[in-house]
Amino acid sequence: MQSATATPNDEVLTSADGTPLQVALARATRKAKWRAFWLVAPLLLFIIITFAIPIAQMLYRSVHNTAFSENMPAVGEYLRNNDITDVPGEAAFAALVSDLITARENKTIGSVATRMNYEFPGARSQFTGSARKAKRLEPPFKEALIAIDKDWNSKHLWNVMKRASNPIGGSFYLAAVDMRYDENGNAVRVDAKKRIYVPLFVRTLWLSALISTLCFILAFPVAHLLATLPLRYSNLLMIFVLLPFWTSLLVRTTAWIALLQGQGVLNDVLVGVNILDDENRVQLMYNQAGTIIAMTHILLPFMILPLYSVMKSIPPTYVRAARSLGASSWTAFWKVYFPQTIPGIGAGVLLVFILSIGFYITPALVGGSSGQLISNEIARHMLQSLNWSLAAALGGILLFIIIVLYWLFDKLIGVDNMKLG
């Protein structure tokens, strides 16, 4: 940038304006750094607002729930200041009754009752029912409330209320891994029959692994063919890979419904050529098979493209050299060609695995009940059961899994080496 006009006598080289060259260089580098940074800054700000903050908010939501602490201030205050060793005395019950009355007047009793019901089954009707009668109650409130519902005399319930009086807590994460607090406040696993989420996470990971494997098995020969054929053929065949890649996800899912459902094309063909009886049509849709087939089809291009770009860079002379040195075609493939494709395999398998863990649309449409993944459960809690904190906690766990995989992907392949099309 600046021209150095150093005189032979000077020990320090300086630039035209007399600053030492080292300082001038550092200044110029810093300036260039800032210039590069300012180009990125608007986008960075945008992504932080529309992506990072919302996700941070979701994570905050998963440990922060004010439904109880905000709407039951008096009893909340009592619980924060006192330890619960047994069912508390009259003071706590008086505070509880006054809170129940105000919560009913403010119409917030419903959300309090729902919040309690997550951890103490039966609490919904207990809270709403007691709140309805609270206004007519006379002291001593403890006996009066217990007369309405004997669960008020439960130490477990008071422990639950004690935990809920603090808006920050990990109880939703505990629920998301099929655990709960028992009467003594210890974290224990729920009954084997009631475990939902851990099996669902296991199923999601297992199906994703299966789909990645299937994609790999199907992609490898195709990518190899595309990479070894002369360009004019392979460019033509590439359309077969790129057309699904560019086609809408919903279109492809619809296509599979038309093809695979009980009265669909495949079953009709099988019945038509007498392989199947009309009564014994195979159910390939609305179950796990539907999810696996449709997702394999949708994610296959994501495996073929990275494999293809790696295979394209392997010189064909290596295999020929191996052959001419006496290797059988299998040995030449296995010892010489295959090891060179491993970076492509790594990229493809990880990409497909990451994408399939978070799949929602396809399982929701073709998965029936046995083909649902963890995303579907998050959506159910968001849109139907409205247990947003639990949805956020499940999302937090899913996000953690994805971040670990993404970190692995970056370490092994590097995000800046990702190619499209």
Partner 1 sequence: MAKLPAYTTFGERVWHYTYLFICGCIFLFLVAPILLVIPLSFNAEPYFTFTKEMLSFDPAGYSLRWYDRILTHGMANPEIERGAAWWKDTWENGQWLHAAKNSAIIGISATLLATVLGTIAAMGLSRPEMPFRRVIMGLLISPMIVPLIITATGLFFFYSKTGLAHTYIGVIMAHATLGIPFVIITVTATMVGFDHSLSRAALNLGASPITVFREITLPLILPGVISGALFAFVTSFDEVVVVLFVAAFDQQTIPRQMWNGIREQISPTILAVATILVIFSILLLTTVELLRRRSERLRGISPA
Q: Which residue has the tokens 């009980």?
A: 262
- Which of the residues 179 through 238 are near partner 1 (CB under 8 A)? 218, 221-222, 225, 228-231, 233, 235, 237
CB of 29 to partner 1, least distance (A): 7
Q: What is the DSSP string of 350-402?
A: HHHHHHHHT--HHHHHH-TTTT--HHHHHHHHHHTS--HHHHHHHHHHHHHHH
Amino acid residing at 45:
L
Verify binding: residue 385, partner 1, rule CB under 8 A: no
CA angle 173, 194, 385 (to 5 degrees): 60
CB of 174 to partner 1, least distance (A): 19
Q: How far apart are CA 174 and CA 76, in angstroms?
A: 22
For residue 128, what are the CA distances in angstroms to 97, 109, 400?
Answer: 12, 6, 37
Q: How many residues bind partner 1 (CB under 8 A)?
A: 92
In terms of Cβ atoms closer than 10 Å to its own Cβ (0-12, 13-18, 19+), residue 234 is middle
| Residue 397 C-beta: closest distance to partner 1, Å | 10
Nearer to partner 1, 121 or 326 (CB): 326
Q: Which is nearer to partner 1, 247 or 283 (CB)?
A: 247
Stretch that binds partner 1, among 79-87, 90-98, 170-178, 262-270 (CB under 8 A): 262-270
Measured from the CB atom, the residue of 44 and 202 that comes closer to partner 1 is: 44
Residue list 352-371, contact with partner 1 (CB under 8 A)? 354, 357-361, 365
CB of 63 to partner 1, least distance (A): 13
Q: Does 348 bind partner 1 (CB under 8 A)?
A: no
What is the C-alpha to C-alpha distance for residues 386 and 222, in angstroms, rounded to an integer? 45
- Looking at the Cβ atoms of 76 and 395, the one nearer to partner 1 is 395
Tell me if 334 contacts partner 1 by CB under 8 A.
no
Cβ–Cβ < 8 Å for 287, 370: yes
* Contact region with partner 1 (CB under 8 A), list: 75-83, 94-102, 129-137, 376-384: 376-384
Which parts of 271-330 interact with partner 1 (CB under 8 A)? Answer: 297, 300-301, 329
Task: Please state, in angstroms and rounded to a whole number, the distance separating the CA atoms of residues 17 and 28.
Answer: 14
Give min distance, CB of 418 to partner 1, in A. Answer: 6
Phi, psi of 230, deg, nearest 5: -60, 150
The CA radius of gyration of the chain, in Å to the nearest whole number, is 32
Q: At what angle do helices 288-312 and 197-228 cross, to 10 degrees?
A: 40
Residue 5 binds partner 1, judged by CB under 8 A: no
**Angstrom distance (rounded) from CA 205 to CA 162:** 36
Of 69 and 376, which has the nearer Cβ to partner 1? 376
* Footprint on residues 66-125 left by partner 1 (CB under 8 A): none
Minimum gap (Å) between residue 341 Cβ and partner 1: 16
Among 6, 23, 26, 55, binds partner 1 (CB under 8 A): 55
**Which DSSP string do the residues of 152-193 spell out, in sequence order?**
GG-HHHHHHHHHHTSSB-SHHHHHHTTEEE-TTS-EEEPPGG
Query: Which range touches partner 1 (CB under 8 A), out of 56-64, 120-128, 132-140, 145-153?
Result: 56-64
Cα–Cα dist 163/384, whole Å: 26
Using the rule CB under 8 A, which residue among 192, 273, 325, 383 binds partner 1?
A: 383
Residue 268 CB, shortest distance to partner 1, in Å, is 5
* Cβ 375 to partner 1 shortest distance, Å: 4
Residue 271: strand, helix, or coil: helix
Identify which range of 7-15, 34-42, 103-111, 337-345 contacts partner 1 by CB under 8 A: 34-42
